[in-house]
Amino acid sequence: MKTKVLIVDDSAVVRNLLSSILSKDPSIEVIGTAPDPYIARDKIVKYHPDVITLDVEMPRMDGITFLKKLMKHFPIPVVIVSSLTPKGAITTMKAFEAGAVEVIAKPEMDITKGLEIVSARIIEKVKIAATAKVKKRDARKEAVDKRRQPLTTKALAQSTNKIVAIGASTGGTEAIREVLISMPANSPGIVIVQHMPEKFTKMFAKRLNEQCAMDVKEAREGDGVYPGVVLIAPGNHHMVLKRSGARYYVKLNQNPPVFHQRPSVDVLFESVATYTGANSVGVIMTGMGADGAGGLLKMKEAGAKTIAQDEKSSIVFGMPKEAIKLGAAQKVISLSDIPQAILSSCR
């Protein structure tokens, strides 16, 4: 059965290009396009799409408002099609918080040339989104969740040499947020790879920093990994952990993608296994594919504590599943239990 896609974008050029690109794949059927959310709403009711691609910067009704209404009444996997501007990045982060599962970056270059170049990636992201589990969202519950206080914990001074490494992909932006808002300010240093296009990771880190007790930032070359600090790998760069004496720090590179990803979870996890041994905790979360599974196994073999998100709480149970199949995960637990498990593993 084909994946039915509805394209929502106020630009006729983008609608036509996306329709042309997606129609090239025999497993995808573009069941319609819409220039604004009002027309999209009617087509959703009529055609029941499996996936929606959505431009969040539109007239008549902005994409975030539409997305919130959609998740309340018709929860459907949504792929955001966003510009690479700072405003576009901010809006994309809000879209993830409202329930979107993936993002496609509109290239800065000539749009026709750019979208054709990334057509394979667009098709891949739509297919991944089609596998995502999207549930109805209660706005009141969301508001309570965002006010959640960090876990109270005993002093973690004895564990300042611990490093926590987290990897995620589809559905990971909200899963990572849920973990980090529960972490106290004195938590061990955390390094994170979230599969995300270049220029979006900086805004992702900024949004998290506004919501978390820990200091969250996009990693730069040579940044130290200290208690209370979270480093997010920048898009289009691998991030590796290094050690100099008692000091941990990160280095960035643009070596070839691993599992078609840069940054790659495997690259991070393998470096953590090499330089921290048993002084680390590895966490693999929601996402499609196998990136991170082998690296988590290397962390476990080096003596680290390892955790995988369970199927029920994962938007896409791909990366955790592959890690579990390899025997890399010592614990398989719900997303809501991961923060406490990390803190317990660091004592």
Active site residues: 169, 195, 291
Q: Give the separation between CA 160 and CA 328, rounded to whole angstroms.
A: 24
Q: How many CB atoms lie within 10 A of CB 146?
A: 12
Extract the tokens encoding 67. 């997305």
Q: Give the separation between CA 110 and CA 48, rounded to whole angstroms.
A: 33
DSSP one-letter code for 173: H
- β-pairing verdict for 247-253 and 238-244: antiparallel
Q: Give the separation between CA 267 and CA 261, rounded to whole angstroms.
A: 10
Extract the tokens encoding 344. 């317990």
Q: Give the separation between CA 177 and CA 301, rounded to whole angstroms.
A: 28
Extract the tokens encoding 246. 């008692």
Extract the tokens encoding 72. 């309340």
Q: Give the separation between CA 49 and CA 280, rounded to whole angstroms.
A: 43
Nearest alpha-carbon partner for 173 in 35, 253, 285: 285
DSSP one-letter code for 82: E
Nearest alpha-carbon partner for 191 in 165, 173, 221, 220: 165
Nearest alpha-carbon partner for 189 in 238, 239, 241: 241
Q: Give the separation between CA 177 and CA 208, rounded to whole angstroms.
A: 7
DSSP one-letter code for 125: H
Radius of gyration of the chain (CA): 20
Nearest alpha-carbon partner for 126 in 13, 14, 25, 236: 25
- Number of alpha carbons in the 13 Å side-chain half-sphere of residue 11: 16
- For the chain, the residue count is 347
